[in-house]
Amino acid sequence: MNPGLKKYLSEVFRDRVRFDEPMSVHTSLKIGGPADAYVMPVQEEELVFLVDRLKKDGVFYCVMGAGTNLLVRDQGIRGVVISLAEGFTKIRKAAGGANRVVARSGARLAAVCRYALKHSLSGMNFALGIPGSVGGAVTMNAGTGLGSMAGVVENLRMLFDDGVAMSLDKSRIQWSYRGFAIARPGRDKSGEGIILEAEFLLCPADPNLLKKEAHSLIQKRKTTQPWRAASAGCFFKNPDSGDSAGRLIDSAGLKGFRVGDAEVSKKHANFIVNRGHASADDILRLMEAVQERVYKNFNLKLEPEVKIVGQ
């Protein structure tokens, strides 16, 4: 990192920037080499100026929330990690109505679910147990068989690559499986940009029934998924064939298969877990082994859902 940028980051962010920061302490897999700088903005203006400076300096940067859908390679990240998990976490009722909830992108999805339950609003229970932040969940159109972000997001506020921040209602959001694209007035469709906050349209519900449903869903997840293990959630996308990645991996006989300290979960085959001392290389070699076996058995190529970054 050039001295001028390092000085700028130190002067502007003070105790909210860390240099040579190990990413293993910020990812749910507990894996990842050091980032040149790890920066924690708390205001939108700070984020705008930071991104502008990094672009002018030609420095690579990536934005992260809870680090739950992320695999950082062992040599780390040459550039800047911008974390929204510390400063962009507020959840509030929207001005537009009692059933609308606005959450900043760094807020935990679990916190939004709890907020909805507290205010007797239905629509978010499908997300109970899905790890990560609002920004990550929206970016991946996170969901289960019970629902997805596409069904509850009413609009987004985003910071685009050209430095413009604007709100986009749902008519400009084109959802897809594990992703979305947006249409800006007078611009090409693109998903490029940083999610600042999302507004959810929910529905009033009986609080007792809502809490009963939530309890049932959480208990089901605890019995079917490696709840306490270090993982990145579901590792592979479900293929277009309509089959599930977990069933394919299980049918290929890969539950419990290990490379180093990385293991295909014995409880749910679409989870790769860190048994304690796995490296990113262990995870990647296990990923490739799973892909090869599933392709050989079913002629289907599994694509990772987890974002892989770094060197």
Looking at the predicted structure, is the pLDDT value of residue 255 above 80? Answer: yes
Supply the pLDDT for residue 184: 61
Single-letter residue type at 52: D
Task: Give ∠ CA 128-250-264 in degrees, rounded to 5.
Answer: 70
Position 95 scores a pLDDT of: 84
CA dihedral 23, 24, 30, 32 (to 10 degrees): 70
Which CATH architecture does the domain made up of 91-221 adopt?
2-Layer Sandwich (3.30)
Q: Please give the mean pLDDT across all residues of the chain.
A: 94
Asked if residue 13 has pLDDT above 90, the reply is: yes
Q: With a cut of 60, say whether residue 46 has pLDDT above it.
A: yes
Residue 242 is predicted with a pLDDT of: 85
Q: Which positions are catalytic?
A: 178, 234, 305
Task: For domain 3-83, give the CATH number.
Answer: 3.30.43.10
Residue 189 has a pLDDT of 43
Dist. CA 120–CA 22, nearest whole Å: 40
How deeply is 121 buried, as exposed, middle or buried, from its count of CB atoms within 10 A (0-12, 13-18, 19+)?
Answer: buried
Instruction: State pLDDT tens for residues 101-152.
Output: 999 999 999 999 999 999 999 999 999 989 999 999 999 999 988 999 999 9
294 touches 300 (CB < 8 A):
yes
Question: What pLDDT, on a 0 to 100 scale, did the predictor assign at position 185?
Answer: 59
Return d(Cα 258, Cα 274) in angstroms, integer. 10
Task: Tell me how far apart the alpha carbons of residues 77 and 140 are, in angstroms, rounded to a whole number.
Answer: 22
Q: Can you give the pLDDT at residue 182?
A: 84
Task: List the chain domain ranges.
Answer: 3-83, 91-221, 226-309
Burial environment of residue 215 by CB neighbours within 10 A (0 to 12, 13 to 18, 19 or more):
exposed
| Pair type for strands 203-204 and 34-39 | unpaired
In this prediction the pTM is 0.92
CATH topology of domain 226-309: 3.90.78
Residue carrying structure tokens 């349209």:
201
Residue 271 CA to residue 9 CA, distance in Å, equals 37
* Residue 188: pLDDT over 90: no
What share of the chain in percent tops pLDDT 90?
88
